[in-house]
Amino acid sequence: MTWVGLVALLCMQPLAACTDRGPVSTSPVASAKAVAPRGFDSATFDPSTPVDNQWFPLTPGVEYVYEGGALDDGQPIERKVIATVTDMTKDVAGVRAVVVWERDYTDGELEEAELAFWAQDRDGNVWHLGEYPEEYDDGKLVKSPGWVAGEAGARAGIQMVAEPMLDTPSYEQGYAPPPINWVDRGRTFKIGVGTCVPVDCYEDVLVIEEFERTKPQASQLKYYAPGVGNVRVGWRGKNEDEQEELELVSYLRLGARGMEEAREAVRRLDRNAFRRIPAYAATSPVERD
């Protein structure tokens, strides 16, 4: 039995509503101190690039590996995601962003390689400034629906607020109009959760619910451990078809060789993006920080 099936069996409910330690309380805690982040403004970012929000730290050289499963047309599939925080940066919408290189595998085959761009404002909010994905089928590139903030109607969005609190409004995680149609939103779902994954057990975990307004009762849950970042992915809602569940199985710092391989992969994808995405012309080529 896979870890997904085992955890669901032990909890006797979907992983979205439990952790390795059993069900978690969902009782809300109101906060009168919550302050909504200001709108995106390049003037609120420093020229330097550190992203050190405790829930979403991006330390160059750190690599996260997640494993788990999902459903594809109702059939179970295996999933693996590798996310590498590189020491490469890119100017997007007047802001110097950190570049994360991500690879998604389904049943052992590379399904997508992606560059994602993140930056932290002076208040401590982490912003999503765009992405360049390459999607593959049987090893062949089939599409690359990239977008960058400030171009072709796309907007930057909040990935992680500086001080997540319950009972606060949802926030836009970025926007790209059709045909890309990036309309993800996020909101604080739980605070103070305990969960265990193969890497470690964590206390005081934050759970963010990600969803689209056009798809009610279908959302993804992301569990963030302080000082580490995303350690688990779950789901909730009767209309959530994919039901993806992932857990952090490796959390390490790359050596010199691994970092150079990451830089080369980022440069290659970045060159591809300039050829395929017209809006990319408004950005700078990636460079080493």
Write the DSSP assignment of 137-153 as a string of letters: ETTEEEE---EETTSTT
Q: Give the lowest-confidence range in 9-18, 69-78, 169-178, 219-228.
A: 9-18
**Do the Cβ atoms of 220 and 235 come closer than 8 Å?**
yes
Q: In which region does residue 111 sit, left (phi positive, over 0), alpha (psi from -120 to 50) or beta (all else)?
A: alpha
Residues contacting 221, CB < 8 A, separation 6+: 16, 189, 207, 208, 209, 210, 233, 234, 235, 236
| Opening angle at CA 283, ends 278 and 289, nearest 5 | 145
pTM of the entire structure? 0.88
Whole-number Å distance between alpha carbons of 273 and 131:
10
pLDDT digits (tens, 9 = 90+) for 253-270: 999 999 999 999 999 999
- How many distinct helices (H) and strands (E) make up the chain? 2, 17
In the block, tokens 């302080």 appear at 226
